[in-house]
C-alpha cells in the first residue's frame, strides 16, 4: 500500500522497523502539523508516518492540530490512514495489552476544531457518519491481525473524551451505559475530519490500562500504562507488518 499513512499515538512516536527515506515538512492552511511526515519503507513497502503528539510526545490530546495533520497527509497524496491510539479498557473483554479495531465512536470532546466546512462555503455541507470508519481498511486490519496470529477484537465502540486528565469512575460508568467499550482522547475529531477529506481511515486501539473504576480499581499510573504499551505496541508492529505485506 504505497498510499498508506500511519498516525502514531501514545507509545508510538516513531515506527520501529521503518527504514526512513526522507522527512517532509508540510505547511497547511490550518497551521502546522504535529511534525514532519516521515517517509520510509516497512518490510520493503512504502509507508508514511506522523506522530500525533509530536516527536517528543509534548502535544496533549486537546491541543493536537487534527485538521493540519490530516490535511497534510491528503495533500501529499496519501489516501489510507491507520490511526494508532492508546485507550483504556471499559468492558471486561478490553483488558490491558489487547488490540481492538473499533467500528463505532461516541464523541464527548468539546472546543476542538472539528470540521473543515465552516468558512467561505458555497453551501452547507454534511457528511454521512453512520459508519465512522472505512470498512475496507477495517477489514484489512482485522485480516492482518489474524495473519499475524493476534487475537484482535474486531468490534468496539470508542468513547472520545476531552483530556488531558483521565476520567472519573462515574464518567466511565456513564460511558459504559452509553455503549462504549474503550475510552481515549484522540479518536475525535480525527475520524470525522478524515471522512470530510474523503480519506479511508480506521483506528487501531491498544488497551494501555483499565479505565478508572475497572479492573482492580487501583490508581492508574503512567508506569503501568508505559509497561502495557511496550507489549501492546509490539502487537501493533506485527499487525502493521502483516498489513503492508498483504495483497
Enumerate the known binding-site residues. Answer: 10, 52-53, 185-186, 209-211
Annotated binding site for phosphate: 10, 52-53, 186
Q: What is the spatial distance between Cα 182 and Cα 86, in angstroms, rounded to a whole number?
A: 10
* Main-chain dihedrals φ then ψ at residue 207, nearest 5 degrees: -75, 115
Q: Cα separations (Å) of 234 from 30, 98, 143, 154?
A: 33, 11, 17, 18
Q: Which residue numbers belong to the known binding site for substrate? A: 185, 209-211
Please tell me what DSSP assigns to residue 239: H
Question: Hey, which bits of the chain come out as E strands?
Answer: 4-8, 18-24, 37-42, 45-51, 80-89, 99-100, 104-107, 157-160, 182-184, 200-210
CA angle 67, 205, 171 (to 5 degrees): 85
Q: Please name which of 15, 103, 107, 102 lies closest in space to residue 61, comparing C-alpha atoms.
A: 107
Amino acid at each position: 500500500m504505497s498510499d498508506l499513512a500511519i498516525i502514531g499515538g501514545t507509545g508510538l512516536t516513531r515506527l520501529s522497523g521503518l527504514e526512513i527515506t526522507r522527512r517532509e515538512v508540510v505547511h497547511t492552511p490550518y497551521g502546522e502539523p504535529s511534525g514532519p511526515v516521515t517517509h520510509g519503507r516497512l518490510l520493503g513497502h512504502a509507508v508514511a508516518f506522523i506522530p500525533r503528539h509530536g516527536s517528543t510526545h509534548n502535544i496533549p490530546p486537546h491541543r493536537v492540530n487534527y485538521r493540519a495533520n490530516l490535511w497534510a497527509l491528503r495533500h501529499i497524496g496519501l489516501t489510507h490512514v491507520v490511526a494508532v491510539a492508546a485507550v483504556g479498557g471499559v468492558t471486561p473483554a478490553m483488558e490491558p495489552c489487547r488490540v481492538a479495531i473499533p467500528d463505532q465512536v461516541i464523541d464527548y470532546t468539546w472546543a476542538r476544531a472539528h470540521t473543515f466546512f465552516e468558512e467561505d462555503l458555497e453551501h452547507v455541507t454534511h457528511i454521512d457518519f453512520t459508519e465512522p470508519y472505512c470498512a475496507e481498511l477495517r477489514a484489512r486490519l482485522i485480516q492482518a491481525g489474524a495473519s499475524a496470529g493476534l487475537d484482535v477484537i474486531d468490534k468496539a465502540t470508542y468513547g472520545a473524551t476531552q483530556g488531558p486528565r483521565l476520567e472519573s469512575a462515574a464518567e466511565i460508568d456513564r460511558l459504559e451505559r452509553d455503549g462504549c467499550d474503550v475510552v481515549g482522547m484522540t479518536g475525535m475529531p480525527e475520524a470525522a475530519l478524515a471522512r470530510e477529506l474523503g480519506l479511508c481511515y480506521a483506528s487501531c486501539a491498544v488497551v494501555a490500562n483499565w479505565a478508572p473504576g475497572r479492573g482492580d480499581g487501583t490508581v492508574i499510573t503512567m508506569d503501568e500504562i508505559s509497561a502495557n504499551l511496550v507489549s501492546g505496541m509490539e502487537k501493533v508492529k506485527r499487525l502493521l507488518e502483516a498489513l503492508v505485506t498483504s495483497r
